[in-house]
Amino acid sequence: MSEGPAAGFVRVRLDLGYDGADFSGWAKQRSRRTVQGELESAIATVLRLPDPVELTVAGRTDAGVHARGQVAHVDLPAEVWERESGKLRRRLAGRLPWDVRVWGVAEAPPGFDARFSAVWRRYAYRIGDHPGGVDPLLRGHVLWHDRPVDVDLMNEAAALMLGEHDFAAYCKKREGATTIRTLLDLSWERGADGLAVATVRADAFCHNMVRALVGAMILVGDGHRPVGFPAEVLAGRERHSAVNVVRPHGLTLEEVGYPADELLAARSREARNMRTLPGCL
């Protein structure tokens, strides 16, 4: 896999956001509406490109998951970029549907890869536990839980999960893919609006990981399980029947972090290597 654009091409970074409600996730699928499909079609159309483009994204979100701070890159012919760079964002604003927006378009620094150069991704999951339900204006972005949750208990449970672990118990397994991740932040806060909001930040996430972690935390928050339960599930490395993968609409990709420009290429190479835990072969 090439770490940079081919000769005669320029790598372009896109910063974007979308409401995931009407998308079948990020990844392009035949006969289904996806974020990648909409963006690639719009880019090829506004630039009048003879060949399709292919986007690489920092985090492949599932169906129904939203994003505020998603990052992608696309390699464009240098002559097209030189001619159109100053107009591309405005043209995309006119071409794209209203539930996906491109906020930034810029030539990427050398070594940049939207996926492999990232050092962390930060998600938020929003829960409303008011007995009357969720504000109708927020219902597409907030999960309603019909019992009150204790954020202090959930924070106690979350503290036991931090660090590098095999998160197989919280991931949908994929052939040949590691489930070892470094969980950098998992914390809960009760906002002024009454919502319980989880901040989840890791170097990377495996499939369903955030939503399964939230599902385990809710069991602690509403009193169904003790504080140590999520960590016990983690240590078991197998899915637990009590842990539900919560619905996608409460989840938003908020931000992607990258190292300094001079470290981008090294980070990209490091991230492509299969990870193992110390002592594991």
Q: Provide the annotated active-site residues.
A: 62
Closest CA to 166 of 153, 183, 152, 154: 183
How many Cα atoms are found within 13 Å in the side-chain-facing hemisphere of 10?
Answer: 16
Residues in the chain: 281
Torsion sign (Cα): 157, 130, 18, 16? negative
The alpha-helical segments, DSSP class H, found in 52-118 are 78-84, 88-95
Contact by Cβ (8 Å): 185, 200: yes
Contact by Cβ (8 Å): 88, 223: no
Give dist(CA 173, CA 155) in Å, integer: 27
Give dist(CA 212, CA 142) in Å, integer: 16
93, two tokens:
């604003």
260, two tokens:
């300094």
143, two tokens:
């999960």
Tally of CB atoms within 10 A around 13: 17
195, two tokens:
């919502």
Q: Annotation-wise, does 123 bind a ligand? A: yes
Q: Which residues are annotated as a binding site for substrate?
A: 123
Q: Which residues are annotated as a binding site?
A: 123
